[in-house]
């Protein structure tokens, strides 16, 4: 309940924040929503020397859809902003479905999307969703910005590829090739529980045909599982019952679950398979279902 001592800076610009990170050579941590970091500090699982608070930097709390259809989510965009967002509801069904399943409503009012992705919790919802969407992180460091694709961003449990003096200032979801469809299902034992297993699905549809399928999983591996390769069996196909089962089986095979008190590895795989089937079946148009 009582964090260790640390230094605290509340910079006014991203550049200032980067300079502070740079000066502390890896001993400083970024504080955005703080809904994962502060609990870890209270339990003293984390004891950073310096906290760099982004909350005093103006202009990072945005989320918007650009003219090209890409979606941009700023470093201080809270979960709740996405949950209540009309533009997200209209344009990004995977994010819309996941937004209300992140943590609990009070945590959602403070926690941030980008912070959650950076936290790289293997059970985290947003890292899975952004991976399924083929998104990337915009990282800003002393030498400018670079884009890091999600598949290269999360490399292990609670590990991302940001340099110590870089800040993830934005997450980007690329414009869909066609119509964006998708869904998110999570098996949690109660609100605020971590995922026993969850499945994020993103489909770009052209007519009845899948132009691009992205699927990612949380809770069933040592890190966010990118099952996009397995989902690619759907590319160029229609969402027939047969194709759905093929995809579900392939995605379930890509999961790397461990047996623990939440269930056996086999059980978690079964959940993945069921959730993939349920999301895809829900997305299939009536004519496809009939086929």
166 CA to centre of own chain: 19
Alpha carbons 277 and 114: distance in angstroms, whole number: 29
Minimum distance of another protein from residue 115's CB (angstroms): 13
Tokens of 179: 């119509």
Considering only 19, 38, 241, 246, the residue that binds another protein (CB under 8 A) is 38
Tokens of 32: 């955005």
Q: What's phi and psi for 183, nearest 5 deg?
A: -170, 170
Binding track over 131-170 against another protein, x by CB under 8 A: ----------------------------------------
First to last CA, the chain: 57
Contacts of 98 (CB under 8 A, 6+ apart): 125, 126, 128, 129, 184, 186, 200
Does 16 help bind another protein (rule: CB under 8 A)? no
Considering only 16, 22, 49, 53, the residue that binds another protein (CB under 8 A) is 53
Does 6 help bind another protein (rule: CB under 8 A)? yes
Does 45 help bind another protein (rule: CB under 8 A)? no
Residue 11 class from Cβ within 10 Å (0-12 exposed, 13-18 middle, 19+ buried)?
A: middle
CB atoms within 10 A of CB 129: 35
Contact 269, 221 (CB under 8 A): no
Our CB check for another protein shows the closer of 173 and 276 to be 276
Minimum distance of another protein from residue 113's CB (angstroms): 16
Considering only 232, 235, 270, 285, the residue that binds another protein (CB under 8 A) is 270
Considering only 64, 143, 146, 258, the residue that binds another protein (CB under 8 A) is 258
Our CB check for another protein shows the closer of 53 and 208 to be 53
Our CB check for another protein shows the closer of 32 and 171 to be 32
Residues making contact with another protein (CB under 8 A) = 1-8, 10, 31, 34-35, 38-39, 41-44, 51, 53, 55, 80, 100, 103-110, 187, 189-194, 196, 257-265, 267, 270-271, 274
């Amino acid at each position: 309940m009582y964090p260790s001592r640390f230094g605290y800076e509340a910079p006014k610009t991203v550049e200032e924040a980067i300079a502070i990170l740079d000066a502390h050579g890896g001993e400083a941590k970024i504080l955005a929503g703080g809904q994962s970091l502060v609990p870890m500090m209270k339990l003293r699982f984390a004891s950073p020397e310096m906290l760099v608070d982004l909350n005093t930097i103006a202009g990072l709390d945005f989320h918007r859809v650009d003219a090209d259809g890409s979606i941009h989510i700023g470093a201080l965009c809270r979960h709740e902003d996405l949950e209540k967002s009309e533009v997200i509801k209209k344009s990004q069904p995977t994010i819309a479905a996941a937004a209300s399943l992140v943590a609990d409503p009070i945590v959602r009012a403070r926690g941030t999307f980008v912070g959650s992705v950076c936290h790289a919790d293997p059970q985290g919802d947003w890292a899975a969703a952004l991976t399924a969407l083929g998104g990337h992180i915009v990282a800003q460091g002393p030498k400018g910005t670079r884009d890091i694709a999600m598949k290269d961003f999360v490399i292990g449990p609670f590990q991302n590829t940001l340099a110590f003096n870089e800040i993830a200032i934005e997450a980007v979801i690329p414009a869909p090739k066609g119509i964006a469809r998708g869904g998110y299902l999570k098996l949690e034992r109660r609100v605020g529980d971590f995922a026993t297993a969850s499945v994020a699905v993103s489909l770009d549809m052209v007519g009845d045909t899948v132009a691009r399928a992205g699927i990612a999983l949380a809770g069933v591996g040592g890190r966010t599982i990118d099952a996009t390769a397995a989902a690619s069996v759907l590319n160029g196909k229609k969402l027939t019952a047969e194709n759905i089962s093929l995809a579900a089986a392939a995605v379930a095979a890509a999961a790397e679950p461990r047996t623990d008190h939440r269930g056996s590895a086999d059980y978690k795989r079964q959940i993945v398979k069921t959730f993939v089937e349920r999301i895809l079946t829900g997305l299939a148009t009536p004519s496809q279902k009939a086929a």
